[in-house]
């Protein structure tokens, strides 16, 4: 099975309450562009990620609002920030890393919410039936090229409106010289 | 075969002429600490890597002197700097990327010399006979863990005094959560 690759740069999913605290009661998520998964979009708003050691500016907020604020960074980012976020599925935030979000003079201290996202493949229910995969199944993907690799522990994520796409972070992408929109192959079920 | 992993952070190998230009006629490479390969050492001296787009400070010089100055960075670094170095074996610099090295008020413009180093395994002649590998052979290595992967296109580099060690860059290391000194397995010849 061939699958398109989406490279996830560090970003923030935010709950409405946290957003209003940072940007003001009257602020709303400002649409910048659509993302590949239907309904997801990139916002004009960005925040600064801050820790005791360092900070990273211009980190994009993605919409729509989530129930809980979630910060996704790479291992490389975690070294810059001096923190140790766990490898997690999106939404699985219990006991994850603490981090501070800043916008202008507003500082929001999160006791948890920072993760490194698991490699995962978005798949519609229709595709999962047709192709023979199931939710939370672990597969491997083969990436070709000068720094070719087989990435393991890739989770299949099935939801009705998902478009078929592998999501990897910038560390995986840069290690294998992958660009957004490149194609990989799912080579094996586990 | 199990092999220890060495993670190569961005660094500079320098020729004596370029070093004297940057640090002065009377300067010498100042020993900081030994590296894993016999005779190689980290120096107290660092330089700034500079391009039209950006710069990266505190990039370590490694000794001893080489015949030609060579800058090794990761793909992540290349995005920061806005350049496009090729994937190369050490020493294979023809037509590689240009870059500028700076120290204080000295600027050294290299027309070529910047590369992303090939994944490679250092191996002594003795080990190559004993283990059945040959110089420039391509192998794959399996890295275990939460972000496990099989890294392909790994070159065997045989030289008399080499210690058995896989060298990967920080992108490969961060994508697979590897730390310096971790162990991987060579799983297959190609």
Q: What is the pLDDT of residue B190?
A: 52
Interstrand relation of A149-158 and B149-158 (parallel, antiparallel or unpaired): antiparallel
Q: Answer yes or no: is pLDDT of B189 > 70.
A: no
ipTM entry = 0.96
Q: What is the pLDDT of residue B168?
A: 98
10-residue mean pLDDT profile of chain A (190 residues): values are: 97 98 97 94 98 98 98 98 98 98 98 98 96 96 98 96 96 98 86
Q: What average pLDDT is seen over chain B?
A: 96
The model's pLDDT over B13-47, given as tens digits with 9 standing for 90+, comes to: 999 999 999 999 999 999 999 999 999 999 999 99
Backbone angles phi, psi at B144, to 5 degrees: -90, 165
Q: How many CB pairs under 8 A join A and B?
A: 63
Domain ranges of chain A: 9-117, 120-189
Using CA of residue B172, residue B175, residue B176, residue B180, what is the dihedral sign? positive
- State how far the Cα of A20 lies from the Cα of A51, in Å rounded to an integer: 21
Contact assignment for B148 to A146 by CB distance below 8 Å = no
Contacts of A146 in chain B (CB under 8 A): 87, 153
**Which CATH fold topology does B120-189 show?**
Barwin-like endoglucanases (2.40.40)
The model's pLDDT over B87-124, given as tens digits with 9 standing for 90+, comes to: 999 999 999 999 999 999 999 999 999 999 999 999 99
Banded model confidence at residue B134, pLDDT cuts 50, 70, 90: very high
Contact assignment for A79 to B174 by CB distance below 8 Å = yes
Q: What is the pLDDT of residue A113?
A: 98
- The angle formed by the CA atoms of residues A144, A146 and A148, to the nearest 5 degrees, is 40
Q: What is the pLDDT of residue A72?
A: 98
pTM, entire model: 0.96
Contact assignment for A146 to B75 by CB distance below 8 Å = no
Q: What is the pLDDT of residue B87?
A: 98
Straight-line distance from the first to the last Cα atom of chain A, in angstroms, rounded to the nearest whole number: 15
């Amino acid at each position: 099975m061939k699958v398109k690759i989406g490279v996830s740069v560090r970003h923030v999913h935010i709950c409405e309450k946290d957003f209003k605290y940072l940007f003001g009661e009257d602020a709303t998520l400002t649409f910048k562009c659509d993302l590949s998964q239907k309904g997801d979009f990139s916002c004009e708003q960005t925040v600064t990620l801050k820790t005791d050691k360092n900070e990273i500016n211009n980190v994009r907020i993605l919409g729509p609002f989530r129930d809980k604020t979630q910060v996704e960074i790479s291992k490389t980012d975690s070294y810059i920030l001096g923190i140790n976020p766990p490898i997690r599925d999106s939404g699985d935030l219990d006991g994850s890393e603490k981090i501070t979000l800043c916008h202008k003079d507003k500082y929001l201290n999160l006791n948890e919410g920072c993760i490194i996202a698991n490699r995962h493949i978005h798949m519609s229910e229709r595709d999962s039936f047709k192709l023979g995969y199931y939710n939370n199944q672990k597969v491997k993907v083969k990436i070709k090229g000068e720094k070719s690799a087989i990435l393991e522990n890739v989770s299949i994520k099935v939801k009705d409106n998902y478009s078929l796409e592998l999501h990897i972070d910038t560390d995986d992408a840069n290690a294998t010289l992958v660009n957004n929109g490149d194609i990989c192959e799912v080579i094996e079920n586990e």
